[in-house]
Amino acid sequence: MAKKKKRMAAVIVISLFAVMSLCGMAVAGQQAMDRSDFHGSEDNVLDQAAIIDEENSMLVGKEVEDTTPLTATKGMKGTPGIVEDTKSNEIVKSFADEVVEPINIINFETTDSVTPEVIVPNGSAAIFSQAGGTGWVCNDGDELIYQFEKFPSEVGAQTLVIGYILDGVMYPGEKYLVEDGEYRHKIDKSGEYFVYVINASSDPLSLKSGNICN
């Protein structure tokens, strides 16, 4: 009888371990699914620009491990992104000399020329367009202006590259270390213009709502 009770106790203990293991696997699986919701991976939590929301807001202003092979200041080309790479983007068709091709390019539409709050990982680009994906029609002599403000970061000053796209060509941008400021481009050729930003810092760079005018 005593041996039988011991065998039953052993079976119960093993069963409990099995249930705990299955629960642990389920939790890990759910966490992996949660991470994938905001286009993440195990090595690089954020791999493309995204609207700031409750799923990625914990990364705003934080220093995180980033294994992206490109930093926009190194002059290297990166691996195309998993969602929309530079070869499939409808706005950017080519790159002018001295432009480092970003890892991926994501377009964000503005509302009444007000840009959304976005978070951009190292080497990725975000394009701002008007509603419907159109750009701003500018004439010779106009000035394209983007007023921006970064979220403070625990890593200190972060490098933001801001530039323009004209007729499908991405042109060299300017680097900004300041937390807020203005990007100004004097128009010398009439056409449809878009504003782009590239994160040239190692950690995700987050931008508050801004304004684009011409």
Q: What is the pLDDT of residues 53-64, one digit of tens each?
A: 888 888 888 777
Distance between CA atoms of residues 147 and 42, nearest Å = 34
DSSP calls for 121-158: -TT-EEEEE-GGG--EEE-TT-EEEEEEEBPP-TT---
3-state secondary structure of 178: coil
How big is the CA angle at 140 (ends 137 and 145), to the nearest 5 degrees? 60
Query: What value does the CA radius of gyration of the chain take, rounded to a whole number of Å?
Result: 23
| Distance between CA atoms of residues 99 and 96, nearest Å | 6
pLDDT of residue 43: 43
pLDDT 10s digit of each residue in the chain, 214 long? 554 444 554 444 444 444 455 444 444 444 444 443 444 444 446 789 999 988 888 888 877 764 544 444 333 333 333 234 455 578 999 999 889 889 999 999 999 999 999 999 999 999 999 999 999 999 999 999 999 999 998 888 899 999 999 999 999 999 999 999 999 999 999 999 999 999 998 889 999 999 999 8
**pLDDT for the residue numbered 58:** 87
Q: What pLDDT score was predicted for residue 56?
A: 86
Q: Could you tell me if 211 and 143 are in contact, meaning their C-beta atoms sit under 8 angstroms apart?
A: no
Q: Dihedral, CA atoms, 166, 172, 177, 179, nearest 10 degrees?
A: 0
Question: b/e for 7-45, b at 16 or more Cβ within 10 A?
Answer: eeeeeeeeeeeeeeeeeeeeeeeeeeeeeeebbbeeebb
Q: What is the pLDDT of residue 59?
A: 86
Q: How far is CA 14 from CA 2, 9, 11, 21, in A?
A: 19, 9, 5, 11
Q: What is the pLDDT of residue 8?
A: 53
